[in-house]
Structure 1
Amino acid sequence: MPSLPSSSVADPTPPDFSGLWVALVTPFRADGAVDHAALAALARRLAAAPIAGFVVCGSTGEAAALDEPEQDAVLATVAEAAPGVRRIMGVSGHHLGRTAARLGSLAGAGLAGVLLPAPVYIRPSQAGLLDWFGQLADRSPAPVLIYDIPYRTGSTLARETLLALAAHPRIAGIKDCGGDADKTRALIADGRLQVLAGEDANIFATVAEGGAGAIAASAHVHTARLARVIALLRDDRLAEARALWQPLLPLMEALFAEPNPGPMKALLAARGEMAAVLRAPMTAASEALCARLQALDAAVDAAG
């Protein structure tokens, strides 16, 4: 495996990505345009909860269905609506030069970080993945969080690759959707990457094992409760955290019973916050699931 490219830019103080990050949806109007009014209202509501920040234009935000000007406008709306809340921007691609240029275009955006997945469709070797992330981290205007999500990208980042990438001064953490508990524990034990759970149902286990927090789509609802679960776990108050967590889990699992973010948008639409509109090829949640989500949402409220 080749050595990691060296970076000419290093952060004197490692950034802190601990806590709960909300993986924001992108609301659309009935005509398919971005609903900036609904997005701003959503950001303001969520900003009132004890969150670490927002992840904008990730997979939950349907970034693949947004062109770059639309993505920039979404980021600007969130920044204006919640100026005191930190923002991580999703950046993806499969052309190294264009992806690096996209990172460069975000230099003045005041980002806390960027979320970078492996290049989709190509399925490079581990050496290729090491080079991909190393070169992009060298050019990134903000600290990098690796987005390890093999079921979307087609590439699995090996433990050894991630541990090598942890040596890069601009790579600060990982959104862990890899589905490998042993790898997750190894990264936590190594201690150089801040491990953020990316699969919502794994939040409790990851943070209880020593992970830094989570990037969660389900955090659009019962946000303060989920943030409290993470805070309690990081304080080693396991029983209190479990009591708050268990009522959340049935709703959390239902929110991923159909492709994300359809169920989340359906629940937010039922709450009157936006239309349940997605861009093709994504589809709205089924009526049966919508009814189930509303019942489970009410059950969390009833649990206190």
Structure 2
Amino acid sequence: MPQHQQQPTTAPTPDFSGLWVALVTPFRDGAVDHPALAALTRRLADDGVTGFVPCGSTGEAAALDEDEQLAVLDTVLEAAGGRPVVMGVSGYHLGKATAWARMLSQRPLAGLLVSAPHYVRPSQAGLLEWFRAIADASTVPVLVYDIPYRTGVTIARDTLLALAAHPRIRGIKDCGGDMAKTRALIADGRLQVLTGEDHQIFGTMAEGGAGAIAASGHIQTQRFVRLVRLLADNRLAEARAEWQLLQPMVELLFAEPNPGPLKALLAAGGAMRDELRSPMTRASDGLRERLVALDARLSRP
């Protein structure tokens, strides 16, 4: 895999608005399928996505060791065609997380997507220490990933507003499930708010959010790109019509644990094998059939 090394520098803050795809990690016989990953990344770039987020929950990062994560990242960077890449970061050991952030900062990244530490359930003061320490260690911008149903801890509104004062914390992937908190962050204006809940793309952007980091964007990508652009332009009636077509697909893609349904549909189209790492499992046959049928209907002229 090609290596992308550069001396750490403080990069200008990018614009995180638009449609980012939370990438799956294709596997073949247990190993990462780098040719499939590269082809997928190139296809999504051609379809007009803003950028890519590898090694998040959709990418089964918890099942990848560090060498595999770096190899995935380098493949995506090579195939992205100059489009920005934000790398997922998670864990619960602060020393390891800061060292990882420093290492990743040597790649030409647009940013790091950092979740709250999972399992340990720290206080709000502990969350402030966690995110500030990782942002201090990074030389690229940081997006906070608020996803309490995976980490076990909710990042409070005041904590997020305090983190917004850090010069390298520039956005949030919002899966917090608290629309009042979402509105407060949008109104504050210091963090770009990107929804991470695909079924909230319309609502969050209609309220003034900057965009989405969406697993669903792998499928019917040009429609999702068009939806986000219409919302950004405040063309709500046109966006609503597009969203009403896409919403059933979003519901089906999350009817069973992600990324099982997504990989099943991508595999049906020949993009990769329908393979996940245990304990993640393939989607059921019935759901795969429904996804394939719906995708075919959406693809008709």
Q: Could you tell me the TM-score, scaled by structure 1's length?
A: 0.94
1:20 corresponding residue in structure 2: 19
Distance in structure 1 (CA, Å) of the matches to 2:297 and 2:231: 23
Query: Per-residue CA shift, 1:239-258, capped at 9, x if unaligned?
Result: 11111111100011100000
Distance in structure 2 (CA, Å) of the matches to 1:299 and 1:11: 47
CA contact (8 A) 1:175 1:195 kept: yes
Distance in structure 1 (CA, Å) of the matches to 2:214 and 2:147: 14
Tell me, what secondary structure is at the counterpart of 1:195?
A: strand
2:269 corresponding residue in structure 1: 271
Distance in structure 2 (CA, Å) of the matches to 1:128 and 1:195: 23
Q: Could you tell me the TM-score, scaled by structure 2's length?
A: 0.95
How far did residue 146 of structure 1 move? 0.3
1:59 corresponding residue in structure 2: 57
Distance in structure 2 (CA, Å) of the matches to 1:85 and 1:15: 12
Amino acid at match of 1:22: V
Dislocated runs of 4+, deviation >3 Å: 9-14
Distance in structure 1 (CA, Å) of the matches to 2:280 and 2:11: 42
Distance in structure 2 (CA, Å) of the matches to 1:100 and 1:14: 20
CA contact (8 A) 2:45 2:81 kept: no
Distance in structure 1 (CA, Å) of the matches to 2:131 and 2:211: 22
Amino acid at match of 1:87: V
Distance in structure 2 (CA, Å) of the matches to 1:249 and 1:64: 28
What is the aligned residue count? 294
1:181 corresponding residue in structure 2: 179
2:250 corresponding residue in structure 1: 252
How far did residue 141 of structure 1 move? 2.3
Tell me, what secondary structure is at the counterpart of 1:247?
A: helix
CA contact (8 A) 2:10 2:139 kept: no
Amino acid at match of 1:301: S
Query: Per-residue CA shift, 1:219-276, capped at 9, x if unaligned?
Result: 0011121111111111111011111111100011100000000000000000011001
CA contact (8 A) 1:166 1:192 kept: yes
After TM superposition, list the pairs within 5 Å mapping 1:222-261 onto structure 2.
222-261=220-259
Distance 1:211 1:10, change over 3 A: farther
2:40 corresponding residue in structure 1: 42
Tell me, what secondary structure is at the counterpart of 2:20?
A: strand
1:160 corresponding residue in structure 2: 158
1:281 corresponding residue in structure 2: 279
After TM superposition, list the pairs within 5 Å mapping 1:1-304 onto structure 2.
13-29=12-28, 31-302=29-300, 304=301
Percent of aligned pairs sharing the same letter: 68
Distance in structure 2 (CA, Å) of the matches to 1:74 and 1:65: 13
Distance in structure 2 (CA, Å) of the matches to 1:110 and 1:12: 9
How far did residue 14 of structure 1 move? 3.3
Amino acid at match of 1:193: L
Tell me, what secondary structure is at the counterpart of 1:98?
A: helix
How far did residue 10 of structure 1 move? 10
Distance in structure 2 (CA, Å) of the matches to 1:186 and 1:218: 26
Amino acid at match of 1:142: V
Tell me, what secondary structure is at the counterpart of 2:193?
A: strand
Tell me, what secondary structure is at the counterpart of 2:38?
A: helix
Query: Per-residue CA shift, 1:12-53, capped at 9, x if unaligned?
Result: 853200000000000000x21000111111011011022110
CA contact (8 A) 1:255 1:264 kept: yes
CA contact (8 A) 2:11 2:139 kept: no
Distance in structure 1 (CA, Å) of the matches to 2:233 and 2:118: 37
Distance 1:10 1:162, change over 3 A: farther
How far did residue 78 of structure 1 move? 1.1
Amino acid at match of 2:78: E
Distance 1:287 1:12, change over 3 A: closer
Amino acid at match of 1:161: T
